[in-house]
């Protein structure tokens, strides 16, 4: 079964065709990052306009790269939540029109569930058989930070999530304060590789309640204040060292909570995903913690960590199998919990 996936929740207009939820036939991504860079972050209005301009050629390109026509597509999966509302609306409206015109089923996909599905697209190997639920999903991106039990392909149970900023947001805001261009996560990653994490002692978050919840705003505020203070004193800060310390702090937090949750809930299979899963510190620390405990770890290749439509098509396939489809009343939703969970 071939699903056409469409993604437009933030600043990437993307379309992809995926076969049986596992095999990528095409994967087209039109990123607007260079344009938003000028403003230091995503400008929602601008993002919507660019999606409008890009969506048609991106979808056409995905079909032509897959060497398929709409007749040979079995369903249209689209990200409908969560994200920038004006941006989501472009993908949702386009997908609805396409479904109406082609008579193909319309399949709504939650963006965070889509990120988790990126790991279904990994090639099977002797060491790493195809990922199947149940497993513990760790989804870290610019807008989301969550540990969730993936009980079956369409049933999720959140174990912990951020109470304020997402991990990617913390990377990006600190990066901006350090003078790196948007999106700053990757620049922090590169600088961190030259730096010494022990040069700074960053605060650890202490939280009441759910031990698996995250909070990154304290870390962000500490770093931003530190940079301002140093600037006021006319001193220079070593960006490489500060990046290394920041990356280590985030990687440690994600790794420790994931390991504790896996041990408590009895999971031996972990799947990391989302834009921040491209971070070398997070990948390495989680990989060595999993290796020590004999856990199996899945991580998408770098090209499938950030926003893409292949992950939406993959999750769309499983949604369709579970009977999750939509009609012309489908609307975009800016904020939405995972399937089966109340807001
Ligand atoms: O998944 P994604 O493309 O969009 C959302 O759903 O939010 O994630 C984007 C986030 C940005 O915050 C970006 O800076 C971060 O992922 N990111 C990284 C790295 N590559 C992307 N953060 C840290 N290290 C990286 N190598
Ligand atoms: Zn995303």
Intervals of the chain under pLDDT 50: 343
pLDDT at 342: 61
> Is the peptide bond preceding residue 183 cis, with omega within 30 degrees of 0?
yes
Summary mean pLDDT of the chain: 96
Distance 133 CA to ligand 1 centre (A): 25
**Positive or negative, the Cα torsion across 66, 64, 26, 103?**
negative
- Site to probe by mutation for ligand 1, drawn from 144, 275, 312, 335 as the one with most ligand atoms within 8 Å of Cβ, is 275
3-class SS at 186?
helix
The closest of 325, 307, 327 to 316, measured between CA atoms, is: 325
With tokens 């390991």, the residue in question is: 259
Ligand 1 binding pocket includes 290 (Cβ within 6 Å): no
Between helix 217-232 and helix 239-265 the angle, nearest 10°, is 170
3-class SS letters over the chain? CEEEEEECCCCEEEEEEEECCCEEEEEEEEECHHHHHCCCCCCHHHHHHHHHHHHHHHHHHHHHHCCCCHHHCCEEEEEEECCCHHHHHHHHHHHHHHHHHHCCCEEEEEHHHHHHHHHHHCCCCCCCCCCCCCEEEEEECCCCEEEEEEEECCEEEEEEEECCCCHHHHHHHHHHHCCCCCCCHHHHHHHHCCCCHHHCCCCCCCCCCCCCCECCHHHHHHHHHHHHHHHHCCCCCCHHHHHHHHHHHHHHHHHHHHHHHHHHHCCCEEEEECHHHHCHHHHHHHHHHHHHHCCEEECCCHHHCCCCCHHHHHHHHHHHHCCCCECCCCCCCCCCCCCCCCC
Contacts for 287 with CB less than 8 Å, ≥ 6 apart: 297, 299
Name the residue at shortest CA distance from atom 23 of ligand 1.
185
Ligand 1 binding pocket includes 82 (Cβ within 6 Å): no
The closest of 58, 1, 80, 53 to 312, measured between CA atoms, is: 80
Beta carbons of 192 and 238 less than 8 angstroms apart: no
- Site to probe by mutation for ligand 1, drawn from 165, 171, 286 as the one with most ligand atoms within 8 Å of Cβ, is 171
Beta carbons of 106 and 33 less than 8 angstroms apart: no
Q: What is the DSSP letter of 138?
A: E
- All domains in the chain, ordered by first residue: 2-117+304-321 (3.30.420.40), 130-299 (3.30.420.40)
Cα separation, 10 vs 142, whole angstroms: 10
- Site to probe by mutation for ligand 1, drawn from 11, 114, 142 as the one with most ligand atoms within 8 Å of Cβ, is 142
Structural tokens at position 305: 């960590």
Give per-residue pLDDT as tens, 118-176: 999 999 998 899 999 999 999 999 998 999 999 999 999 999 999 999 999 999 999 99
3-class SS at 60?
helix
3-class SS at 51?
helix
Distance 168 CA to ligand 1 centre (A): 5
Distance 114 CA to ligand 2 centre (A): 8
Q: What percent of the chain has pLDDT over 70?
A: 99
Cα end-to-end span (Å), the chain:
32
Ligand 1 binding pocket includes 306 (Cβ within 6 Å): yes
Ligand 1 binding pocket includes 278 (Cβ within 6 Å): yes
pLDDT at 206: 79
Ligand 1 binding pocket includes 307 (Cβ within 6 Å): yes
Atom of ligand 1 nearest to the CA of 9: 6
Distance 319 CA to ligand 1 centre (A): 25
Distance 215 CA to ligand 2 centre (A): 19
Whole-number CA gyration radius for the chain: 20
pTM more than 0.95: yes
pLDDT at 126: 86
Ligand 1 binding pocket includes 7 (Cβ within 6 Å): no
């Amino acid at each position: 079964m071939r699903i056409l996936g469409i993604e437009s929740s933030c600043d990437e207009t993307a379309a992809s065709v995926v076969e049986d939820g596992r095999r990528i036939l095409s994967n087209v991504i039109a990123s607007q990052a260079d344009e938003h860079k000028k403003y230091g972050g995503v400008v929602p209005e601008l993002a919507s306009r660019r999606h409008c301009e890009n969506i048609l050629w991106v979808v056409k390109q995905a079909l032509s790269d897959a060497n398929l026509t709409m007749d040979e597509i079995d369903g249209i999966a689209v990200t409908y939540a969560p994200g920038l509302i004006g941006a989501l609306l472009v993908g949702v409206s386009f997908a609805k029109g396409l479904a109406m015109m082609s008579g193909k089923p319309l399949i709504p996909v939650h963006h965070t569930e889509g990120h988790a599905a990126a790991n279904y697209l990994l090639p099977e190997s002797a060491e790493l058989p195809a990922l199947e639920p149940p497993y513990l999903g760790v989804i870290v991106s610019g807008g989301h930070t969550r540990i969730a039990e993936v009980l079956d392909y369409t049933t999720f149970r959140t174990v912990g999530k951020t109470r304020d900023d997402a991990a990617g947001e913390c990377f990006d805001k600190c990066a901006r304060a350090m003078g790196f261009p948007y999106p700053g996560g990757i620049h922090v990653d590169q600088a961190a590789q030259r730096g010494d994490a022990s040069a700074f002692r960053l605060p650890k978050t202490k939280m009441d309640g759910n031990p698996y919840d995250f909070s990154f705003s304290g870390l962000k505020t500490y770093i931003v204040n530190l940079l301002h203070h140093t600037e006021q004193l006319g001193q220079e800060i070593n960006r490489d060292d500060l990046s290394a310390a920041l990356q280590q702090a985030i990687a440690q937090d994600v790794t420790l909570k994931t390991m504790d949750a896996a041990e408590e809930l009895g999971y031996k299979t972990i799947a990391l995903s989302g834009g921040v899963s491209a971070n070398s510190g997070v990948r390495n620390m989680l990989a060595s913690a999993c290796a020590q405990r004999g856990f199996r770890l899945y991580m998408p290749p770098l090209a499938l960590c950030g926003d893409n439509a292949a992950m939406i098509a993959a999750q769309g396939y499983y949604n369709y199998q579970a009977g999750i489809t939509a009609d012309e009343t489908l609307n975009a939703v800016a904020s939405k919990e995972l399937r089966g969970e109340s807001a």
